[in-house]
Structure 1
Amino acid sequence: MLKDVFLKEVRERGEYDTDHEADRAARVVLALLGAHLVGGERSELAARLPETYALILLNPLQAAEPLSPERFVRATAAWIDGATDETARWDVGAVLSVAAEAAGGDLTHRVLTQLPPGYDELFGRPAAP
């Protein structure tokens, strides 16, 4: 996926006024996500993202422990100036739903199996009842 296409999708879903805002959200969310993924799934997801974001996903700080979806959102809020938990949830959803589309269903499912329960909603894929 080209960077312009990825950013356009994130910008539309996140209802950002500028590409800069969409880029900031993408960088923070993908850095946090990369800290939680290991092995082939992280590499496969990176291969489906624009190079700029792939490098962020592949070179994260390592997480000491897996974050619950709520803590992931709070961590995102802590890294984005002026963000609240509510706006960070919006940021996370915009970025991860675009990443999920780039990844496709099978890879997204495999990524979700590495994460604590509840991330499916953040990826725009609510769990089946």
Structure 2
Amino acid sequence: MVLRREAFLGQVKERGEYETEQEAQRAARVVLALLGAHLVGEVRAQLAARLPEDFALILLNPLQSAEPLTPERFVRATAAWIEGATEQTATWDVGAVLSTVADAAGQDLLAQVLFQLPAGYDLLFGHPQPT
């Protein structure tokens, strides 16, 4: 099921405790652009199919990443792309967006997404995996 744009942004706004939809949208754009650089093939396409169209396009046309970022470096990269962000606020931004993405993905697809990412991303998505 595809999340409607308003529902997606509403969840990100609520989880990130943003005052405006613009703040939620900015966080979503940056985090999805970085996430898209880490996913390939069918998994990226399936995830994009569950997101609102404008966010799906960001996921499918990502920022290029030379190497997979560890969760810590992913948060740092997010902070670098969001004006005025710190690592603490970026952690909040990443969690708000990725937990919403996880809900849209569902358990099976989320497991495939996490399989493509370095260890530790389960925590960023708000779905800690047993070790």
Q: C-alpha displacement at 1:62, in angstroms? A: 2.2
Q: C-alpha displacement at 1:126, in angstroms? A: 1.1
Residue in structure 2 matched with residue 71 of structure 1 by the alignment: 73
Residue in structure 1 matched with residue 86 of structure 2 by the alignment: 84
Residue in structure 1 matched with residue 95 of structure 2 by the alignment: 93
Residue in structure 2 matched with residue 58 of structure 1 by the alignment: 60
Determine which of 12, 15, 40 is the counterpart of 1:13: 15
Letter aligned with residue 49 of structure 1: L
> For residues 74-101 of structure 1, what are the alpha-carbon distances to aligned partners after superposition, in whole Å with 9 as ceiling and x for unaligned?
0000000110000000000000000000
Q: How many residues align?
A: 129
CA RMSD of aligned residues (A): 0.7
* TM-score for both structures, normalised by structure 2: 0.97
Letter aligned with residue 47 of structure 2: L
Letter aligned with residue 24 of structure 1: R
Unaligned runs of 5+ in 2: none
Q: C-alpha displacement at 1:128, in angstroms? A: 1.8
CA distance in 1, matches of 2:14, 2:87: 20
CA distance in 2, matches of 1:89, 1:76: 8
Unaligned runs of 5+ in 1: none
Letter aligned with residue 92 of structure 2: W
Is the partner of 2:85 in helix, strand or coil? coil
* TM-score for both structures, normalised by structure 1: 0.98
Give me the identity figure in percent.
Answer: 71
CA distance in 2, matches of 1:54, 1:87: 24
CA distance in 1, matches of 2:62, 2:124: 19
CA distance in 1, matches of 2:84, 2:129: 31
Stretches of 4+ moved more than 3 A in 1?
A: none
Q: C-alpha displacement at 1:32, in angstroms? A: 0.1
Determine which of 17, 23, 26 is the counterpart of 1:24: 26
